[in-house]
Amino acid sequence: MNYRKEIEKCIEFIENNIKEDIAIEEVANQSGYSVFHFCRVFSLCNGVSVMEYIRGRRLSLAASELFNGRKIIDIALDYGFETQSGFTKAFRKAYGYSPTQYMMRMAKYADTKTTFEIGGFIMNPVIVKKPAFKVAGYGIKTNVYGASYTKDIASFWSNYEGENLESKMYRILDPAKHGEVGLCVPLSEDGNAAYLLGVIVDDFSKVQEDMLTVEVPEAEYAVFTTVPVDTSNDEEQLEFAKIIAVTWKYIFEDWFKDSEYIYDEDKIDFEFYDERCHHRKDTVMDIYIPVVKVK
């Protein structure tokens, strides 16, 4: 399954229609996948939701046109902003400056070109069958179609005030084994989903009102273990998060296209964190991808 090729096809569609009203369903149709699955894969591969990407590209293209002598209001209207003030607000949020300030500050760099290159790595997953299991814990309900999908999740964990959620979860649920499961589950066909970080439990008898629960069905998985990284301080924890994101990107953009498998959309992918990922010099975690072998 060549996810990179399909994502590139969708991005090409976005680029060709960037000045038009673009519905998520139209973009997903270019890939041939369900809207929910497409939005998940797109977010994992690009680090932003589909709507965040479209908005970012519109602002980026608008920024490049600021140097062509056109009126700011004309540029704003071209890229789907109803008012100049709305465009200016979005532009300032993205770039830190108003469009006028941006033109003044960037003019001296007009002839400068910078190239960024990120290296990848190759890993061979283990194929396993895993029986159904139950997960309970804490999380947030969001919408994978929305522009704030990735921000919703990050904001929940960074802004939560109160007892440490991980400690609270273990204290209340008292799971038989240590290990956290991170997963995103569709709740409806219109993109509503629950992002949950929980533990595996035998039943939901100890679950409290502020917790979320998920029953993960039996499935065959390709299990990817991230490359080891030292996580003895906060800066290295950020590097661990980056490696996890790069691994997701590698799975959908590189591994699938050369494998004998396709993603099983009827099942649930998840991340698994155990004792191997707590302030060690060789920190790793596992990503479980539900797969079906191509016949």
CATH level 2 (architecture), domain 126-293: Alpha-Beta Barrel (3.20)
Return the residue matching tokens 């039996």.
218
**Consecutive 10-residue averages of pLDDT for the chain (295 residues):** 82 92 92 90 87 88 78 90 89 79 57 34 80 94 73 59 77 92 85 89 95 95 88 71 85 85 92 83 89 89
Question: Smallest Cα–Cα separation from 125: which of 225, 41, 218?
Answer: 225
- Note whether 132 and 216 are within 8 A (CB): yes
What pLDDT score was predicted for residue 136?
A: 96
- On whether the pTM is more than 0.75, the answer is no
pLDDT for res 291:
95
Closest CA to 136 of 190, 163, 176: 176
- Architecture of the domain defined by 3-109: Orthogonal Bundle (1.10)
C-beta of residue 66 within 8 angstroms of C-beta of residue 102? yes
Identify the pLDDT of residue 287.
Answer: 93
Per-domain residue ranges for the chain?
A: 3-109, 126-293
126 has which bridge partners? 223
Phi and psi angles of residue 83, each rounded to the nearest 5 degrees, phi first: -135, 160
Residue 269, pLDDT score: 93
Gap between the Cα atoms of 157 and 138, Å rounded: 10
Q: Do 3-109 and 126-293 share a fold?
A: no
